[in-house]
Structure 1
């Protein structure tokens, strides 16, 4: 029974990957706005109905958006060791998602396509905001912070930003691996990006 469940899960992952690969390839060839769900399904050798079992629309397929990433991240937040700092937990989560996104070798090409397409950028922004909202709620609960606390939201948002910045910078500095850039970003977040920050002092000096 366990083996059968494992095979079924592996088949689902293969189908999702095939649809995401077909969606990206067709979007690169024709442009994201010109690709149809029917074309993606046909290229992946599945039915349109099967496509909608995995993605709500073509943009999520091109983005290779996988709801299991969020589920795994929420579980990681809930089960993190008691002594692990919130930013450390987010580091583990981001690296796990990055590992999965890198597995098809198309992370850079997908990133370039997203940045050149308003519709893809919009969908990425919408889904990222929703993910961050759920992750923030889970982190806030774990930290025991009140509903209006900014720290959990800032940690989650900064972790996502560090990932986006690393992918973007890798395009201009391809000799620097994304993971190295990401780790540097997290180190900066941990230490503080600007220890001399102090607008109140600056304003008093000019009053």
Structure 2
């Protein structure tokens, strides 16, 4: 056995756990999308993912948690990434850079995340869990921004930046879902952040589409 063997085994176990977690979340979302939230049980989700109900509860405390996914872990990775962005990068640009990993993760699992957004939209009872996870992330993000720009956490700027960038990201994600992922989420986020950086200038007037010319 080489010194690298334990990490390799650990990596294999981690990958297996991620696959099982994804399989359970996907099964939960597909079943709820097809049959409705109240008509799907943990037993049915487990069977669809080819695992036992006991295994289900090793990954998720409840059916709703499987539908929402591990938002806390995703948010924690984002906040940690922001803390790693070089301090000379302005705060707004730093937040956009830190979102890169989140965006990549959503785009890599595009079908899963689009389905999740659809299920949550059609089942508003799930929203409080997202709001709770988002509030915790905003508090952590506010602290990181405050430290980054050298002001107290109760200064207005960190909370304002956290609020407007969160809204910009959510809007981009909603637009991404509305087009079923036809547009790149990264492009939509860039578009929103560019508008913020420019001070939200009024957009130019929309140009009416030119009627097609028919041959005479």
Q: Into which bin does the TM-score normalised by the smaller protein fall?
A: 0.7 to 0.9
| CA shift for structure 1 position 171 | 4.7
Larger radius of gyration: 2
| CA shift for structure 1 position 21 | 0.8
**1:180 and 2:183 aligned:** no
Greater Cα shift, 48-57 or 160-169: 48-57
Match for 2:159 among 120, 144, 153? 153
- For the aligned residues, what is the CA RMSD? 2.3
| CA shift for structure 1 position 173 | 5.0
Work out the CA distance in 2 between the residues paired with 1:3 and 1:140. 39
Match for 1:110 among 99, 116, 137? 116
| CA shift for structure 1 position 25 | 0.7
Residues 125 and 71 of structure 1: CA distance in aligned 2, closer, same or farther (over 3 Å): closer
Q: Is the 8 A contact 1:77 1:142 kept in 2?
A: no
Q: Which runs of 5+ in 2 are unaligned?
A: 1-5, 203-216
**1:127 and 2:129 aligned:** no
Residue 48 (structure 2) aligns with? 43
- Post-superposition Cα deviations, 1:160-193, rounded to whole Å, max 9, x if no partner, equal 2222211222355565433222111011112222
| CA shift for structure 1 position 16 | 1.4
- Please give the TM-score of this superposition, normalised by the length of structure 2: 0.79
- Post-superposition Cα deviations, 1:60-114, rounded to whole Å, max 9, x if no partner, equal 3112334332232232122221212222222123232122122233233322222
| CA shift for structure 1 position 144 | 2.4
| CA shift for structure 1 position 36 | 2.3
Residues 124 and 33 of structure 1: CA distance in aligned 2, closer, same or farther (over 3 Å): farther
**1:142 and 2:145 aligned:** no
Work out the CA distance in 1 between the residues paired with 2:177 and 2:10. 40
Size of the aligned set, in residue pairs, is: 195
Residue 27 (structure 1) aligns with? 32
**1:94 and 2:93 aligned:** no
Q: Which runs of 5+ in 1 are unaligned?
A: 196-207
Following TM superposition, the consecutive aligned residue runs of length 4 or more in structure 1 with deviations greater than 4 angstroms are 171-175
Greater Cα shift, 45-54 or 142-151: 45-54
- Please give the TM-score of this superposition, normalised by the length of structure 1: 0.82
Q: Is the 8 A contact 1:140 1:147 kept in 2?
A: yes
Q: Is the 8 A contact 1:23 1:40 kept in 2?
A: yes
